[in-house]
Amino acid sequence: MPIQIDVKVHTPGLVRVLHDLIQKYRCKHILWGSFNHDLQCQLYVTNPQIPLFTSAWRAVYLRAAHLARALDKVRRGPYGRPP
């Protein structure tokens, strides 16, 4: 069964605990993310193999790149800070 984990609050150690639970129970169909860009980056760094839903900043950035026909120049993954 697919599971979506939406991390709402940046709590020290929460991402590591979530990752450990995912590994412990061998969850295969996981999607995690946060609309907070910094937290989204932390999730990606913790385990880049788990798919992410995008942060609000990243969604706006991707939409702008699409409209500017520059989507092919956008790096994959939530790297860096918002401008």
Residues 6 or more apart from 32 whose CB is under 8 A from it?
Answer: 4, 5, 6, 7, 18, 43, 50, 51, 52, 53
Residue 36 and residue 54 in contact, taking contact as beta carbons nearer than 8 Å: no
Q: Which pLDDT tens digit goes with each residue over 67-79?
A: 999 988 887 665 5
- Exposure of 81 by Cβ count < 10 A (0-12 exposed, 13-18 middle, 19+ buried)? exposed
- Residue with the two structure tokens 């937290």: 39
Name the amino acid, one letter, at 68: A
User: Whole-prediction pTM value?
Assistant: 0.72
Q: Which pLDDT tens digit goes with each residue over 37-66?
A: 888 889 988 998 998 887 777 788 889 999
- Residue 68's pLDDT is what? 96
